[in-house]
Amino acid sequence: VGRAFLGEFEQRVLLAILRSGDQAFALEVRRQIEQTCGQSVSRGAFYTTLDRLAAKGLVRWAAEPGGDRRDLQPQRRFRVTTAGLRELRASRRALVALWHGLDAVLGED
């Protein structure tokens, strides 16, 4: 049985968590993806992906108390685990290898 690779959206979420640094709360991560990729992200897809990544042990979260703006509900700060970093690197290696030598076809001006 081969190892399952990260899905594309999973990669986006993981990368956005890394880019958000210590501000990696769900809203900020989602904003990162939308801003950087220029596409809107469905909340349902986003939250279920976060659940899946957490279940695979690729991200971890810790809850922090939220203020009045959030009706005093907690907010989760996400962190990519070492396993998550390893998966990202593996995905990147695989993709870069596949992309290699295709500049003639896919190169952008």
Partner 1 sequence: MSRPTSPPRLPRWVLTRLVGADVRGRSILGDLHEEWTARGRGVSAGIWYWRIVSATSLWYGGATLARLTKGRPIVDLQGDLRAAWRAIRRSPGTSSLIVATLALAIGTATVGFTFADLALFRGLPVDDSSRVVSVFASDTRGSNRRGLISGPDFLDIQERSQTLTKVSAFRGASAALIEGGESKTLDVVYASADLFAAMGQHAQQGRLFRPGDDRVGAPGVAVLSDRYWREAFSGRPAALGQQIQIGREIFTIVGVLSTEMEFGNLADIDVWLPLRIAPDSARDARNLRFIARLRDGTAFETAAAEIAGLGDRLADEYPASNRGWRVRLVPVSELTGGEGFWVVVALFLLSVGLLIAIATANVSNLVLVRAASRQREIAVRAALGARQGRLVRQLLVEGLMLSGLGAMLSLPVASLALTLVGAASSERIFQQLRIDSHELSFVAALMVLCPLAFSLFPARSVTKLDVRTMLNAGGARGATTSMRGRGWLVVAQVALAVVLLTASSLALRSVRLVYAQPLGIETAPLVIFTLDFNDVQYPTPEAVRAAARDTRERLKALPGVERVTMLSALPILGAESLTSMTADGLEIGARDSKPTVVVTSTTADGGSTLGLTMLAGTWWSETSDDRDPAATDEAVVSLKTAVAYLGGVDAAMGRDLTLSRGPDTLRVRVVGVSSDVLAGDRTSGPLARVWIPLERDVRRHAVVVKRRGPIADLTTGIRSVVAAAAPSVPIESLDTYDRALDDAASSDVVIIGVLTGFALLAVALAATGLFGVVSYTASQRTAEFGTRMALGATARDLIRLVAFEGVRLLAGGLAVGLAGGVAVGFAMRGLLFGLSPADPVALGSVIGLLAAVTLLAVAAPALRAARVNPVQALRE
Q: Which spans of this chain sit near partner 1 (rule: CB under 8 A)? A: 26-27, 42-45, 47-48, 51, 63, 66, 69-71, 73-76
Give exposure, 7-36, as e/b (b: 16+ Cβ within 10 Å).
eeebbbbbbbbbebeeebbbebbbebbeee
Give me the residue label for tokens 């279940």: 55
Cβ proximity to partner 1: between 75 and 91 the closer is 75
Give least dist CB 52 to partner 1, A.
10
Cβ proximity to partner 1: between 69 and 100 the closer is 69
Cβ proximity to partner 1: between 70 and 92 the closer is 70
Structure token digits, residue 76: 């989760």
Nearest-angstrom CA–CA distance, 4 and 46: 20
Give least dist CB 74 to partner 1, A.
5
